[in-house]
């Protein structure tokens, strides 16, 4: 039997977490000869690369790629192009999987002849204590197991949970150049996910919690760097443009309109909080893209209220957020 699964693990300065991640990938119910773990050391300056090499010396299914730093998307792309598995999965190097869960996922892929399978997750803190118990707790999508095509999945079941680490995907889909991650942007998952999902002829979910997403206390700086804030905002505009472009390939655009609205809502919130003096520029950019009025769906009453205010006046929304901070 050949390689059934390639697990791609981008690594950058995560020596505190990497062993936990790799140990979780090794304590699986698959024959070690049937799956590979591709660790992409993206120019780490700590000893993450050494840790990965030590694991590769002990376990024959671990392969390590050392490369210059290019960011998360670039590291994932390197792993995709190196991979040999029938299916591909992504695991971030500070996260980890539940033990003995991969065989069940592969069985679903094989038995249902799927292109893509989504699985559930939970959030944990740095003490590995549960923060949320899965999508049922955070209201992030429909995890029913009926097989459908990608367009139906987007419009009726994905919602806004565009997390690459939640999917197992048929490898040949990802190895096409056009299906790689866009390099050098924030929110790369939101840009990538719809491009991939619409290509699925057969896709479904399982509500089984497989993935543990680590919330790191030091992962988000409270200091506002205007250049970084501006980069994030401009990347949101880029993702909005990409989603609009991807929607041109389908007739049912419900998810795309809703996701663009979500991106616009979060963009305006960030403008109000961090670059209020530039709000008029970003409001005009959103108007130029035709995002107003925002489509309101699958959100809390508070967010619904905020989006209604945006539809009355984006500038008023920004002012309210600024005053209330």
Per-residue pLDDT reduced to its tens digit, 143-182: 999 999 999 999 999 987 899 999 999 999 999 989 999 9
Percentage of the chain beyond pLDDT 70 is 95
Q: What single-letter DSSP state applies at residue 108? A: H
The pLDDT assigned to 192 comes to 98
Nearest alpha-carbon partner for 212 in 121, 77, 294: 121
Position 134 scores a pLDDT of 58
DSSP secondary structure, 49-75, as one string: HHHHHHHHHH-TTEEEEEE----HHHH
Q: Is the pLDDT of residue 96 over 50?
A: yes
- Average pLDDT of 46-64? 98
Quick one: which of 259, 257, 248 has its CA closest to 191? 259
Is residue 220 pLDDT above 50, yes or no? Answer: no
Instruction: Give this prediction's pTM.
Output: 0.94
- HSE toward the beta carbon, residue 107, CA cutoff 13 A: 8
For residues 60 and 68, give the distance between their C-alpha atoms in angstroms, rounded to a whole number.
Answer: 24
Residue pair 108/206 in contact (Cβ under 8 Å)? The answer is yes
Phi, psi angle pair for 117, to nearest 5°? -130, 130
* 159 three-state secondary structure: coil
Q: Tell me the average pLDDT of the chain.
A: 94
Question: Taking a C-beta distance cutoff of 8 angstroms, is the pair 39, 11 a contact?
Answer: yes
């Amino acid at each position: 039997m050949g390689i059934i699964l390639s697990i791609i693990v981008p690594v950058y300065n995560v020596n505190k977490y990497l062993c936990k991640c790799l140990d979780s990938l090794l304590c699986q119910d698959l024959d070690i000869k049937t799956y590979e773990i591709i660790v992409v050391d993206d120019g780490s300056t700590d000893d993450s690369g050494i840790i990965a090499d030590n694991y590769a010396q002990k376990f024959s299914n671990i392969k390590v790629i050392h490369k210059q730093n290019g960011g998360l998307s670039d590291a994932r792309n390197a792993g995709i192009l190196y991979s040999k598995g029938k299916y591909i999965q992504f695991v971030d190097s500070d996260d980890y999987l539940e033990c003995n869960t991969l065989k069940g996922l592969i069985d679903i892929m094989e038995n249902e002849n799927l292109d893509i399978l989504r699985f559930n997750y939970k959030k944990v803190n740095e003490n590995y204590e549960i923060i949320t118990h899965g999508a049922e707790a955070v209201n992030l999508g429909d995890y029913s197991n009926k097989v459908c095509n990608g367009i139906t999945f987007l419009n009726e079941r994905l919602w806004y949970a565009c997390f690459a680490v939640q999917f197992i995907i048929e490898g040949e889909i990802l190895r096409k150049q056009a299906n790689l991650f866009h390099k050098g942007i924030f929110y790369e998952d939101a840009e990538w996910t719809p491009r991939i999902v619409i290509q699925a002829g057969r896709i479904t979910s399982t509500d089984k919690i497989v993935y543990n997403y680590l919330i790191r206390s030091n992962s988000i700086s409270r200091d506002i760097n205007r250049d970084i804030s501006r980069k994030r905002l401009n990347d949101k505009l880029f993702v909005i443009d990409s989603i609009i472009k991807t929607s041109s390939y389908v007739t049912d655009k419900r998810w795309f309109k809703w996701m663009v609205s979500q991106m616009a809502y979060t963009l305006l919130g960030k403008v109000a909080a961090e670059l209020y003096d530039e709000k008029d520029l970003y409001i005009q950019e959103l108007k130029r893209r035709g995002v107003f009025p925002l489509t309101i769906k699958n959100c809390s009453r508070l967010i619904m209220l905020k989006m209604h205010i945006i539809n009355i006046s984006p500038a008023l929304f920004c002012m309210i957020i600024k005053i209330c901070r």
